[in-house]
Structure formats: C-alpha cells, structure tokens
Amino acid sequence: MNEMTVMEMQKLMTSGELSSVKLLRYYLKKIEEIDRNGSQLNSVLELNPDALHIAEILDKERAEKGVRSIMHGIPVLLKGNIDTADKMETNAGSLALKGHIAGKDAFIVSQLRDAGAVILGKTNLSEWANFRSTRSSSGWSSVGGQTKNPYITDRSPCGSSSGSAVAVSANLCAVAVGTETDGSVVCPSHINGIVGIKPTLGLVSRSGIIPIAHSQDTAGPMGRTVTDAVALLQSLTGYDADDGITESCKSHKQIDYLQFLNKDALKGVRIGVPKGFTGFHEKVDEVMEQAIAHMKKQGAIIVDSIEIETKGKYDDEEFEVLLYEFKEDLNKYLSNTDGSVKSLKEVIEFNKREKDKTMPFFQQELLEKAQAKGPLTEKKYLKALKKCRILSRDKGIDLILKKNNLKALIAPTGGPAWKIDLINGDHFGGGSSSQASAVSGYPNITVPAGFVSGLPIGISFIGAAFSEPDLIGYAYAFEQSSKSRREPEFKEGSVTD
C-alpha cells in the first residue's frame, strides 16, 4: 500500500477490498518497523490508543450509511502542537508540557473527526515549533529527540513540521497536518519530497494550536500528491467562532477544492520567476530549469527576472513581531491549560531547572528575548507589524503580480537538506522562498520538482490572498507533467547522483 493515494484508498474501501481497520493496521506496523526500529526516523511522538476502535466504527458506518467525505476512514497524523481532547498529549515537543492533555479539540481536529478521518497520532516537531534557539536543530525536541530525513538519514528533515513531513514521505500515514509561521510547512515538505500547502491566513482556524504568532500562524495539509493535500485541505477549512479571522474568510472558502485539479491549468497563464532565489547551487538551478521547461510545455508564459524590491527589507521587523506575539499568544494559551506551567516565564524557569534534559545541545535565547517584550500596544511592535504588512503585501506580492500582470510566482522552496548538526544547529544552504508568503499571510504550495544527489527539491507556487484555487491548478498541472516524487530509500549517510 506504499504510495497509495487517498482516492485509491477510497476506491478500494468502497469495493470492500480494503477497510479503514486494515489500512490503520498497515500503518501501525510500518511505524513500528521503520519509525521506532529500523532506521529510527523518530517522526511519530505518540499513537492514538483509540484509533483502531474509531476505524471499526467508521467501517461500520460506511457499510450502513455511506461515507461522510473523501476523508472517511483515512488515517491522519497531527503535528504535536495541535490539541486533541483524547488520550494523547499536546506538548509541542517540550518537556515543560509533558503530560498535558487538552480539554478541547482544536477546531481543525473537530473538522477532521466530522469528516470521518481517523486521528492516528501526533508527530515530532522542532520544539516550540522551532522558536526556541538560533542554534536549534530542525526536528529535535526534548520529548521526541531528533527526527531524520527518510532519503538520507543523517540529513535534516527541516522544521518545524518535521515529523509530519517525514511520516507522509515514509508512507507511515495517508496524510498529515503541519503548522507554519514562516516555512514550517513548505520547508519540511520540500526537503522530504512531498506536497505541502500553506493556506491564506485565516482560511484555516488557529484555535487549539500552540502558537508562535497570530499574524502569521496557520495549519496546513501535507501529502504525497497534490490531490491528497487538497483532499485534506477541504476538511481543515471553515468558520470558527473562537477564531475571529475566519469570519472574514468565510466568503473565500471553497466547498470543493478538488474541482480545481486541472492538468491544463497552466495553459496561457503568466508565471513570474523572481530574482534572488537561485544561483546558490547549480544543481538546484538545473532542477528549476527543468521545472520551467515542464511549465512552458504545458503552455505557461514564464516571465523571468522579476524584481522584488522589498526582499530582505523587513527581516528585523518580522522577528520583532514574532517575539512580541509569541509572548502574548503563548501566555494566553498556557493560561487556559491545566498544566504545571502557566506562562512563558514559567517555561523558561522549567527549562533552567531541567537543563540537562531540555537544553543538552542548544539554549532558549528566543524564549528569553520574547519574555523581555512588552504588550502588543507598544509602538515598536505596531510599527514593525505595519511595515511587514506593507512591504510583503502592498509593495510586495500584490504589487509584483499586478505590475507584471502575473497570476503567480515560482521559486525553489529551498536547497538540499544539510547534515544534522546538534552542536552547531541548522545551516541552510540558501534559496529559502517562504518569507513573503508567510509574512503577508498569502498562500504557498510546494511540489516535488527533482533531486540533487538523492535529496528532494521542491518548487513553490506563491499567489495573492485566497488564490488557492488557481495555485492548486498550477501545482497539479506541474505535478502531472513532471512526476518528480520518488519514494525514499532510507539510505544511511551517503549521497548519490
């Protein structure tokens, strides 16, 4: 059942050749063999002890009443910072939250349950969604240890939705949910050879998800194909009374995102290639050239050398916004839990007391910098937030698309995976293209585009607010032409051409 799509699973369950219980047992066996033994990928933090029972109920419901949705009976893994009101923890990979059981499902979890999905378990992540240290190792948490890349296991899985991406790529689940503040869905997806969708801010509810920053945080679907990611997206979107931003997004939500899967979607469409995201690695450039050739073959009009005048001009302001909002948002989240830590300050103090377990490799300077910030009424925060929005939106993506009469931008999602280094932390090779879409809150879809020495490279499709229908079409058309996804081989410490 490796590489089986959600559609194929549904077809076999409809015919009676497969059941949700059989599918779940298959994934449980693979997790035991590959994730916890074998190559020890460490992508799964915890398994849902009720998953098999839930699958049995859904199989019975299928037989008696039919299916609820395309996700009926499909096993889904959730990133470890997403609340589930069941027997599983929600700890963001932090020992400070070890044992925390949420009192209420996150809104997106309620949506998944209503759609008939089976919550299989929680995935490992970069602790606190990679907002703890400037020397952190992507995919490492004090609860789950180091997650590894399934293509070459001494390579980074990128963060922070590391476990979700690795589990999908390694065929340990059908699909998974990640979260992103800046790059945390698209980078792990690209580096682990899968599809990741970072939706427009507010299209997916943020309530019940351990936060970094409300002006950029969103959950997003991850799958081995565009179709699978889109199928999951349908069950995540919706109006949530506990998250006001979803109110303004109600009119943009599509009932059926699968209708936009069009293999001819690129025909006659003007796509821009911005400057500044290539030239850091000649083989990544080759992957991009091949990707562009596929798009041209499908009738896309490629506009090269698009100038982004605001690129790199709001880095400091984005960081300020994240620091301020992390303190505010995390304190709000923790104050409503029954855990032993009730504030960011108490998390910092816990880590100091348990430093041998919580900080064996890197420190918590980002937590400390955030704690030093004041309220969100401070002028420094408000000024930084305003600048971020203007430079990423009005003078950024919106201006570029309008000025050049473009429907979307494309860029390599990033470079090849680097070696895991717990002592010095991550060392990105360059080319990351997530910032503009992350800061603006606009959508970004990454799709497998090729390989560099056996390591996956993804291409990002970036558009204006609520342009998911268009981007889904472009991403699908490219995927159907390039067919670049390859199943990982779990190689140990070697690269190939």
User: How far is 337 from 147, CA to CA, in rounded Å?
Assistant: 27
The b/e string for 107-118 (b: 16+ C-beta within 10 A; e otherwise) is bbbbbbbebbbb
Give the position of tokens 């969708």: 197
User: How far is 135 from 335, CA to CA, in rounded Å?
Assistant: 28
Which helix H or strand E contains 441, and what residues bound it? none
User: How far is 156 from 37, CA to CA, in rounded Å?
Assistant: 19
Contacts with 64 (C-beta within 8 Å, 6 or more apart), sequence order: none
Phi, psi of 254 (to 5 degrees): -100, 135
Which helix H or strand E contains 240, and what residues bound it? none
User: How far is 95 from 142, CA to CA, in rounded Å?
Assistant: 6
Q: Are the C-beta atoms of 298 and 264 separated by less than 8 Å? A: yes
The burial of 282, by beta-carbon neighbours within 10 Å (0-12 exposed, 13-18 middle, 19 or more buried), is given as exposed
Q: Which of 79, 311, 373, 387 is catalytic?
A: 79
The b/e string for 391-423 (b: 16+ C-beta within 10 A; e otherwise) is bbbebbbeebbeeeebbbbbbbbbbbbbebeee
Q: Are the C-beta atoms of 190 and 456 separated by less than 8 Å? A: yes
Q: Which of 126, 141, 160, 482 is catalytic?
A: 160
- Kindly calculate the radius of gyration of the chain based on its CA atoms and give it in whole angstroms: 21
User: Is 79 tagged catalytic?
Assistant: yes
Q: Which of 156, 184, 392, 467 is catalytic?
A: 184
Contacts with 298 (C-beta within 8 Å, 6 or more apart), sequence order: 264, 266, 267, 477, 478, 481
Q: DSSP string of 80-137?
A: TTB--SSSS---TT-GGGTT---SS--HHHHHHHHHT-EEEEEE--SHHHH-S-TT--
Angle made by CA atoms 109, 259, 225, in degrees to the nearest 5: 65
Q: Are the C-beta atoms of 46 and 89 separated by less than 8 Å? A: yes
User: Is 160 tagged catalytic?
Assistant: yes
Q: Per the structure block, which two tokens stand in for 440?
A: 């603006």
143: helix, strand or coil: coil
User: Is 137 tagged catalytic?
Assistant: no
Active site residues: 79, 160, 184
